[in-house]
Amino acid sequence: MASIGVLDMRVLALGERVERDLREAELTALLDRLAGGDPDALGPIYDACASEIYAIAHWRTSSASDAADCVQDVFVKLASSPALAGGIRHARRYLLTMAHRAAVDRARTRRPGISLDDVPFLAAPSLDPDRVLDASRATEILHELPEAQREAIYLHHFAELTFRDLARVTGVPTFTAASRYRLGMARLRKRLGQKR
């Protein structure tokens, strides 16, 4: 098996960044089309981002129906006020911020019987008992972290936001977002080491 060298890793990382930048440029162009009065742009925007919006909303609300409502809230807002989408420099971050705010609003007003602590953060194929156990342990430890640290870990790892994007989505300074992530990861590593 051929090994991947440092240069190859840099090329792969550059390729991923270029692909991400192309997707971002396409999404920005779609938002500009929508803002310019083209309602047909809404479908491709939905196709490109609905699953990410749903994932963030589901994590934040712990409810599949609330998450679906958040997706609807975001796209109803876009459809009813398309001019808001004009001139957006970071389309994905803008949409994820809308999703985060919609999810926070829903989480604040949700029924008292629903708890974020009941939501599994990580899932593994049920055919592999060791992976199921590891995912269960990691989920248990993630639940023990302060909410802001859990959120930073989720948005950085699972939504693949940079610290700058994470800061803008959550409304805190970049240093605070990075600090929350690092503190959460340090606690997670320490607790995982204790559980083994």
Could you tell me the residue ranges of all domains in the chain?
Answer: 23-119, 120-196
Question: Cα angle vertex 75, ends 73, 79, to 5°?
Answer: 115
Which two tokens mark 3?
């090994």
Which two tokens mark 162?
């940079």
Q: For residue 28, is pLDDT > 80?
A: yes
Q: What is the pLDDT of residue 13?
A: 45
Q: What is the pLDDT of residue 129?
A: 59
Q: What is the pLDDT of residue 164?
A: 86
Q: By CB neighbour count within 10 A (0-12 exposed, 13-18 middle, 19+ buried), where does 77 fall? A: middle
Which two tokens mark 57?
């909303």
Class level of CATH domain 120-196? mainly alpha
Does pTM surpass 0.75? Answer: no
* Low-confidence winner among 22-31, 44-53, 111-120, 153-162 (lowest mean pLDDT): 111-120
Q: Average pLDDT of the chain?
A: 76
What's the Cα-to-Cα distance from 153 to each of 7, 8, 34, 190, rounded to whole Å?
A: 28, 28, 32, 15
Q: For residue 140, is pLDDT > 70?
A: yes
pLDDT digits (tens, 9 = 90+) for 79-128: 888 887 777 777 888 888 888 888 888 877 765 444 444 444 444 445 55
Q: What are the φ/ψ torsions at residue 124 (nearest 5 degrees)?
A: -130, 155
% of the chain at pLDDT higher than 70:
72
Q: For residue 62, is pLDDT > 60?
A: yes
% of the chain at pLDDT higher than 90:
12
CA separation for the pair 187, 20 (Å, rounded): 30
Identify the CATH assignment for 23-119 out of 1.10.3720.10, 1.10.1740.10, 1.20.120.450, 3.30.110.60.
Answer: 1.10.1740.10
Please check whether residue 97 is in contact with residue 161, taking contact to mean a CB–CB distance below 8 angstroms. Answer: no
Q: DSSP alpha helices (H): ranges in 36-173?
A: 42-61, 64-80, 91-109, 129-144, 147-153, 163-170
